[in-house]
Amino acid sequence: MSTRHLAILGAGAGLLALAACGPKPIDPHRQIGANPYLPPVHQYLMPPMRVAQVIGWGNAKPDVAPGLQIQAIATGLHNPRIVYALPNGDVLIVEGGAPPTPVNRPKEIIMKWVEDSAHGPIKPGNRVLLVRPGPNGSYSAPTIFIDHLYSPYGIVLVGNDLYVADTDAVLRFPYQTGETQITTPGEKLVSLPAGPIDHHWTKSLTASPDGTKLYVGVGSNSNITENGMGAELDRAAIWEIDRATGAHRLFATGTRNPTNLQFEPQTGVLWAVVNERDEIGPDLVPDYLTSVKDGAFYGWPYSYYGQHIDPRVRPQRPDLVARAIPPDYALSSHVAPLGLVFDTGTNLPAAYRGGAFVGEHGSWDRGVMNGYKVVFVPFTNGRPSGMAQDVVTGFLTKDDNHVHGRPVGVALDTTGALLIADDVGNTVWRVTGAGS
Amino acid sequence: MTMDTPRSTARIGGRPIHAMLVSVPIVCFGGTLITDIAYSQTYNMQWANFSAWMLAVGLFVSIFVVITGLIDFLGDRRIRALREVWVHGLGNGLALILAIWNAFVHSRDAFTSVVPTGLILSFLTVLILAVTVWNGRSMVYRHGVGVRPEPRQ
């Protein structure tokens, strides 16, 4: 690890002059909310890359906002990405990692090296674990709930059917309340776009409130079409799947990487967090939180935030750009929102009720770190109604040079506590109201 | 008696290494121009990928081309005395700088990894190589740089 970091540091120092040729990052607050400031496109010779060295948590814990407390409920995990609470209080932890992908360009050798060093040496478990709450806030040690999955990510229970979104298929498992292990092989409901190239591999998953439909977020197969448009068939889209038949249609398109989907509880509208494109500046393009309109096109790859054309895409499609709509709420650039959950419980302070928690995995394509925290977006009448607030921070050290962990999926457990999967600290955190 | 020729210092079994390796970057950088043109006409990313790999391979082999060329340059005073050698060396140095710049441009994603900057750099690189390759051939075929002296009767 340390030799790799030294090498990255050396290469980084050598290329500092090139990377420094870009615009200075702005205050991220100018890009949070409904009308983000969008600077001009800047194309680099060497895009800024900054990742922190992984040091783990030791005895440290993340910092929480006033009125909250935090504890670890599972440690020593293997790349936990998503947490999900079953109705009996059991907590499922999805350990997933990227499937092997081919190297198509010299650049990808370097990119893979940077990504690996941002994640640490732990190999993903590619399985689902279970922890059960015990007396006095204790939890059982994690046990294997479903094993031998293929880059799993999204998970949702509808009645007695538990759905897991592997990178290449939605699988259905039979589940009975209280079960601690499922050994029955999953039954494939529908295939999803996957390899051999599988650039954005995570398949987020949720179910409609009435349980008849499943929604899957399928990410693009590239940053910005560099693997060709042929690789993008049915990708950068949110799929709607009929639960009974497995038939699917594209519910919304142009969403580059929709990494989490949730229904807003008051209005019953589908919301998504989406990761936008890289390498055109530290402040382009802001990642976002948006309600998802049936049939809408959100721009990728041709444009962003409505009709802002991306110069890297040819041939262009003016007909599609003309009907591209801007998303509802920008979260600022390169924060990498991966987790989304609405506060429907009563455990956390009343100020959080009805709003959205967003897990921000954190930036790499930026000279100044952004994200690496869980934020709260207040909602009123089912719409965002104010500036995002920090809820859980301290994933980075104060000097931004070392990283304890990185937040991914977030969920509420049956008591209304906020659960956070941390795929670099290899921990699941539980945030409760200070008095509870 | 023999007619003496400037000697190549970096050689294997009497064969000059520089002259053996120098064809690789010449072919790679020439090929890059062709695949860049193919991409700009088709938007098929496969051509741009070709360009990126050829630039990478051309630059990698150039490391050894530069080292052996400098050894030969420093190894024999008679080589340094040739006007063609200076045009050849400085021109290739310039072409190499353009190719390094071009490799960074080609590391961008999709259209702007080629058009317009990459395509222009590929063209300029080939233009310079046309001159320096001409000079290189003069060095070998007119001045006998690195050529084994023939015994005269």
pLDDT in tens, A245-284: 999 999 999 999 999 999 999 999 999 999 999 999 999 9
Q: Report the chain B residue with the minimal C-alpha distance to residue A277.
A: B109
Q: What mean pLDDT is predicted for residues B69-81?
A: 94
B141 touches chain A (CB under 8 A): no
Structure tokens at B53: 């790999």
Q: Report the chain B residue with the minimal C-alpha distance to residue A228.
A: B45
For residue A426, give the amino acid letter.
Answer: N
List pLDDT tens digits, range A22-65.
899 999 999 999 999 999 999 999 888 898 999 999 999 999 99
Under an 8 A CB cutoff, do A106 and B56 touch? yes
- Judge whether residue A5 has pLDDT over 90: no
- At A55 the three-state DSSP class reads coil
The DSSP string of B16-65 is: EHHHHHTHHHHHHHHHHHHHHHHHHHH--HHHHHHHHHHHHHHHHHHHHH
Under an 8 A CB cutoff, do A311 and B109 touch? no
Average pLDDT, chain A: 94
Q: What mean pLDDT is predicted for residues B68-89?
A: 94
**What is the pTM assigned to this prediction?**
0.93
CA angle A366, A368, A370 (to 5 degrees): 80
State the pLDDT at residue A110. Answer: 86
Helix, strand counts (H, E) of chain A: 4, 32
Q: Strand A427-433 vs strand B11-12: parallel, antiparallel, or unpaired? A: unpaired
- Judge whether residue B116 has pLDDT over 60: yes
State the pLDDT at residue B146. Answer: 86
Of the given ranges (A294-308, A410-424, B3-17), which has the lowest mean pLDDT? B3-17
List pLDDT tens digits, range A107-129.
998 888 888 887 777 789 999 99
Of the given ranges (A47-51, A87-91, A149-153, A214-218), which has the lowest mean pLDDT? A47-51
Under an 8 A CB cutoff, do A43 and B108 touch? yes
* Cβ–Cβ under 8 Å, residues A220 and A235: yes
Under an 8 A CB cutoff, do A228 and B56 touch? no
Give the percent of chain A with pLDDT over 70. 95
Contact list in A for residue B46 (CB cut-off 8 A) is 228
Average pLDDT, chain B: 93
* Cβ–Cβ under 8 Å, residues A128 and A83: no
- Judge whether residue B58 has pLDDT over 60: yes
Nearest Cα neighbor of B124 from B30, B27, B7, B15 is B30
Contact list in A for residue B52 (CB cut-off 8 A) is 105-107
B108 → closest Cβ in A222, A279, A315: A279
State the pLDDT at residue A241. Answer: 98
A224 → closest Cβ in B56, B105, B109: B109
Contact list in A for residue B103 (CB cut-off 8 A) is 106
Q: What mean pLDDT is predicted for residues B28-45?
A: 98
- Judge whether residue A66 has pLDDT over 90: yes
Under an 8 A CB cutoff, do B109 and A18 touch? no
State the pLDDT at residue A136. Answer: 86
Under an 8 A CB cutoff, do A312 and B52 touch? no
Distances in Å between the Cα of A184 and the Cα atoms of A83, A125, A175, A299, A319 are 21, 19, 10, 41, 48
B112 → closest Cβ in A46, A228, A311: A311
DSSP for residue A261: E
Cα separation, A196 vs A200, whole angstroms: 12
Structure tokens at A3: 């030799």
A14 touches chain B (CB under 8 A): no
By CB atoms closer than 10 A (0-12, 13-18, 19+), residue A183 is exposed
* Confidence band for B2, pLDDT divided at 50, 70 and 90: low
The ipTM assigned to this model is 0.89
* Cβ–Cβ under 8 Å, residues A284 and A333: yes
List pLDDT tens digits, range A145-163.
999 999 999 999 999 999 9
- Judge whether residue B98 has pLDDT over 90: yes
A45 → closest Cβ in B44, B45, B105: B105
How much of chain A is in helix, strand and coil states, percent to nearest 5? 10, 35, 55
* Cβ–Cβ under 8 Å, residues A413 and A419: yes
State the pLDDT at residue A111. Answer: 85
List pLDDT tens digits, range A307-359.
999 999 999 999 999 999 999 999 999 999 999 999 999 999 999 999 999 99
Structure tokens at B127: 């233009």
State the pLDDT at residue A230. Answer: 95
* Confidence band for A4, pLDDT divided at 50, 70 and 90: low
A108 touches chain B (CB under 8 A): no
State the pLDDT at residue A113. Answer: 84
State the pLDDT at residue A8. Answer: 53
Structure tokens at B86: 């200076």
Cα separation, B88 vs B79, whole angstroms: 11
- Judge whether residue A1 has pLDDT over 50: no
Q: Which of residues 32-71 of B touch A (CB under 8 A)?
A: 43-46, 48-49, 52-53, 56
Nearest Cα neighbor of A170 from A182, A158, A153, A184 is A153
Cα separation, A96 vs A128, whole angstroms: 9
* Cβ–Cβ under 8 Å, residues A257 and A236: yes
B111 → closest Cβ in A222, A279, A313: A313
Contact list in B for residue A44 (CB cut-off 8 A) is 108
Helix (H) or strand (E) holding A83: strand A80-85
Q: What mean pLDDT is predicted for residues A282-308?
A: 98
Q: What mean pLDDT is predicted for residues A187-212?
A: 97
A279 touches chain B (CB under 8 A): yes
Under an 8 A CB cutoff, do A226 and B113 touch? yes
Give the percent of chain A with pLDDT over 90. 88
Under an 8 A CB cutoff, do B109 and A222 touch? yes
- Judge whether residue A14 has pLDDT over 60: no
CA torsion sign for A255, A49, A102, B107 is positive
Which residues are paired to A308 by β-bridges?
A: A304
